[in-house]
Every structure is written in structure tokens, then in C-alpha cells.
Amino acid sequence: MPEILHEESSSSSSAAAAAATAATAGDFKLNLFGKYEVGKLLGCGAFAKVYHARDVRTRQSVAIKTVSKQKILKGGFTVHVKREISIMRRLRHPHIVRLHEVLATKTKIYFVMEFAKGGELFAKVSKGRFSEDLSRRYFQQLISAVEYCHSRGVYHRDLKLENLLLDENWDLKVTDFGLSAVSDQIRPDGFLHTLCGTPAYVAPEILEKKGYDGAKVDIWSCGIILFVLNAGYLPFSDSNLMAMYRKIYKGEFRCPKWTSHGLKLLLTRLLDTNPQTRISIEQIRNDPWFRKGFKEVKSQLDDEFQFKNSSDTNHDGGRDKVDVERFVSMEPPERITRRIEEVAKSEGMRITGKNGAAVRVEGQNGNFVLVAEINRLTEKLVIVEVKKREIGAGPERSMWKQKFKPQLSGFFYKHDGQVSSS
């Protein structure tokens, strides 16, 4: 990897980084569901272990996180795991680790994810600080991913170097959404209240225990990460936890002498102890230091406007069916998509994709997804194809049948008294 500036430091590699090299055929022994050959252990935590594995059919490397159902139940983390699955399903971004599918047995849940061959970013920084240009490159990729999450109502809440991986092209991948929150969890006062995160990366407003803005605490953590990439050490550190929290609360830190003026200014705004005046994502994107060499991540329309394999796997190992309905209309495509957006907004849902005559809607913590595509049939007629997935909703609770379809029924083209719909 280019531009790592080596200094005297301990360079103990993590299990994930050490095992991130290509494995030989003999390393894969356990066969999972006849679909994956499981190999080396990459890392482990209190509730999960992550293994390097290989898709039997494509021979592509994947990472499989195994979670014990018993530990989840005993720890009361069932809701957290379900939320993590729901969140990862909806995230499709070049700098976020992708969830391929979820499998389950009576005792374990298996997250089959994208394999990041480069290992943890933490392991690279522990060998020496990065140059300013390389720090900027990874920070740009991080902000791109975080902005994408926030636009979809997802707040990571545990951004740190250990949760940033590198792929085979040395590009950044955000992982571990186990502590993430969604906008539905925001209380009537407009804030989140769950105390979580890693001590060295925690924002000062979390320490106050008065509620916090999920977007603002993620931005604080991004500031800590940027500081470490450039400096090689944490801005707030102390062997005594309470002493470290006092430093964080005061927000007093010093940039190393090699830090440029532009980077110092940005770090000061990122690590502003007042969340109301702390820099926003939009302001970060307009910052001169950040803008240098910045390349916009191209939107992946194929991902935004289609369901992969026409179905997704749910947390119990089953299939969530994607239903398709079509109707013919004489209305302009713009009016049809506008009506869908109006209904979605009235129900507190998000527009997560829009491209001319196509729109994608998500809601209910990712349990409802609707994609509508409109194509010209004749000079006067268009055909509207609606794909939708509703998890855990019976006919009487179907958002499509109860909310969307009644509002669109007036657009159905009628011929000889018949509604043209299938």
C-alpha cells in the first residue's frame, strides 16, 4: 500500500488483517449448507466469529460472521441482530461491506458478506501514520459512505479504525452495523438516547446522557479517525478512562507539527464539542482541504432499481418474496412517480432512488421496499411495473394494498369499463 510513513511503533497485526491473504484449497474444510466452504478464522468478538469462506459455485471469497442464537437470547440482543440485518440489506454502496445473504440453523445465524482482502485499516495505521494525501483519500471514502447511510436514515454509532476494512484495491469498506440506529428510533425530543460506542471515539454529548443527534456523533467519530490517520495516535487518550472522558468533554487536542493549516481547520470543526456548531456532511464536502482530488462515487442505478435474485433471505433463513404488479396508464410518468413520492412521504418513508421514470421507496426499517418503473407502451399509454417486498405484513397490513394502490388506482387505464391491471 503506498504512502504509509513508518515511525517507531508497535505493529501487532489483528487476526482479521493477518488472515486476509488468499487461502489455499486445503484451508477450506467445513461445508456450510452445500453453498460455502469455510476456512480460516478472521476475528472474533463477544457474540460472533468471522471466517474466510468461498462460494462453492462461483469460487468467490466471502466473509461469514457466525452468531450464536443462545448468546443473543441470553444477552437480550435479538432486536439488535434483526435491526443489523435489516440495515445491511438496504445499504448498497462501494465503500460499505455488502451483505450477500443470511442463513440460519437451530443454533446459529450466518451473515454471508463481502470479503475485504486488505484487512483492517487499524492494522495499517499501527505500522505508521499515513501521508496527508492518503489520509484525505480514505477520509473522502469514509464521508461518502457515512453520507449515504445518513440519507437512508441509518446512523452507525461505532465508527472506528477497527470497523474500517480495505478491499483488494486498497479502497475503504465500512463494516459492523451492530450498534447502528435508524431514524425510527429517534424519540419525540428529536434525539437518540442509547449510550453506545467505543470510548476513544465517543462524542462529548453522549457523555452528557441528555440525548444526541446520530449524524453529529458519526461526524465526531470521523474526526477522530482522520486525526489518527494523519497523526498515528488518538487525539484524546489516557490510561484512566474517566480522565480520557474529561479530555473529550473539554475537546482540547494538539495536531502534530506536520499537519497542514487546511487540515487543522477541518479537524477543529470536526472535533467541535458543541454538536450544534459542529461541521455538517454538506459543509465537509465543501471544505477546500476535503475537495482536493475528490471523486464523486457514481450512483449504482442497477442496485437502486432492482431486487437481487428477485428475493432476499431473511434472518430465519427463509425467503422474502418480491411481488410484481403491472398496470397501464395514460398519465405522464412524472405524475405517477410524484404520487408515489407523496404517499411515501405521508407515511414517513424515504425516497432512496430516483431516475427519470423510476422511483424506489423504503420504509419500516427496511421491511418495506417498493420499486416502480415506467415504460412507454404506445404514444399515449405507459406500463407501470411495481415490485414490492413486505416483510412480516399480512394482506390486512400491506402498505401497498392499504396505502399506495388506492392512491394510484385513479391512474389505471380503463377500457370498456375494465381496469387494466395485473
pLDDT of residue 12 exceeding 50: no
Give per-residue pLDDT as tens, 169-193.
999 999 999 889 888 788 888 888 8
pLDDT of residue 314 exceeding 60: no
Q: Are residues 153 and 191 in the same domain?
A: yes
Q: Are residues 62 and 142 in the same domain?
A: no
> Could you tell me what percent of the chain has a pLDDT over 90?
53
Query: For residues 249 and 370, what is the distance between their CA atoms, to the nearest angstrom?
Result: 43
Q: Which is more confident, 29 or 119?
A: 119
Q: Are residues 102 and 179 in the same domain?
A: no
Q: Are residues 268 and 365 in the same domain?
A: no
Assess if residue 193 is contained within a domain: yes
Q: What is the mean pLDDT of residues 187-213?
A: 90
Per-residue HEC secondary structure of the chain comes to: CCCECCCCCCCCCCHHHHCCCCCCHHHCCEEECCCEEEEEEEEECCCEEEEEEEECCCCCEEEEEEEEHHHHHHHCCHHHHHHHHHHHHHCCCCCECCEEEEEECCCEEEEEEECCCCEEHHHHHCCCCECHHHHHHHHHHHHHHHHHHHHCCEECCCCCHHHEEECCCCCEEECCCCCCEEHHHCCCCCCECCCCCCHHHCCHHHHHCCCECHHHHHHHHHHHHHHHHHHCCCCCCCCCHHHHHHHHHHCCCCCCCCCCHHHHHHHHHHCCCCCCCCCCHHHHHCCHHHHCCCCCCCCCHHHHCCCHHHEEECCCCCEEECEEEEEEECCCHHHHHHHHHHHHHHCCCEEEEECCCEEEEEECCCCEEEEEEEEECCCCCEEEEEEEEECCCCHHHCHHHHHHHHHHHHHECEECCEECEC
CATH (domain of 374): 3.30.310.80
Instruction: Give the Å distances, CA to CA, from 259 to 133, 276, 338.
Output: 11, 26, 48
The answer to whether 167 and 118 are in contact (CB under 8 A) is yes
pLDDT of residue 317 exceeding 60: no
Q: Are residues 151 and 203 in the same domain?
A: yes
Assess if residue 304 is contained within a domain: no
Query: For residues 86 and 88, what is the distance between their CA atoms, to the nearest angstrom?
Result: 6
pLDDT of residue 360 exceeding 80: yes
Taking each helix axis from N to C end, the angle separating 214-231 and 132-151, rounded to the nearest 10 degrees, works out to 170
What's the mean per-residue pLDDT of the chain?
84
Q: Which residues are catalytic?
A: 158
pTM metric for this prediction: 0.70
pLDDT of residue 76: 85
Per-residue confidence at 422, pLDDT binned at 50, 70, 90? Answer: very low
Last residue of a domain, one of 286, 314, 337: 286
Last residue of a domain, one of 76, 98, 114: 114
How many Cα neighbours within 13 Å face the side chain of 191? 16
Q: Are residues 363 and 399 in the same domain?
A: yes
Q: What is the mean pLDDT of residues 298-326?
A: 53
Q: Which of 28-37, 143-152, 335-344 has the lowest mean pLDDT?
A: 28-37
Assess if residue 158 is contained within a domain: yes
Cα 281 to chain centroid distance, Å, stands at: 16
pLDDT of residue 27 exceeding 50: yes
Domain that holds residue 339: 323-410
pLDDT of residue 330 exceeding 50: yes
Assess if residue 358 is contained within a domain: yes
Assess if residue 296 is contained within a domain: no
Q: Are residues 80 and 164 in the same domain?
A: no
Q: Which of 86-95, 201-210, 259-268 has the lowest mean pLDDT?
A: 86-95
Query: For residues 326 and 383, what is the distance between their CA atoms, to the nearest angstrom?
Result: 7
Number of structural domains the chain divides into = 3
Query: For residues 93 and 273, what is the distance between their CA atoms, to the nearest angstrom?
Result: 30
Q: Are residues 74 and 167 in the same domain?
A: no
pLDDT of residue 378: 75
Q: Which of 124-138, 216-230, 292-306 has the lowest mean pLDDT?
A: 292-306
Q: Which of 110-124, 178-192, 244-258 has the lowest mean pLDDT?
A: 178-192
Assess if residue 305 is contained within a domain: no
pLDDT of residue 33: 87
Assess if residue 107 is contained within a domain: yes
CATH (domain of 44): 3.30.200.20
The phi and psi torsions of 313 (rounded to 5 degrees) equal -95, 130
Q: Are residues 95 and 58 in the same domain?
A: yes
> Which residue from 377, 383, 378, 379 is spatially nearest to 412, judged by alpha carbons?
383
Assess if residue 292 is contained within a domain: no
Q: Are residues 232 and 135 in the same domain?
A: yes
Q: Are residues 248 and 132 in the same domain?
A: yes
Last residue of a domain, one of 65, 93, 114: 114
Give per-residue pLDDT as tens, 120-138.
999 999 999 999 999 999 9
pLDDT of residue 8 exceeding 60: no
pLDDT of residue 82 exceeding 60: yes
CATH (domain of 212): 1.10.510.10
| Residue with the three cell numbers 470521523 | 222
Q: Are residues 165 and 89 in the same domain?
A: no
Whether residue 247 is annotated as binding a ligand: the answer is no
> Could you tell me what percent of the chain has a pLDDT over 70?
84
Q: Which is more confident, 245 or 355?
A: 245
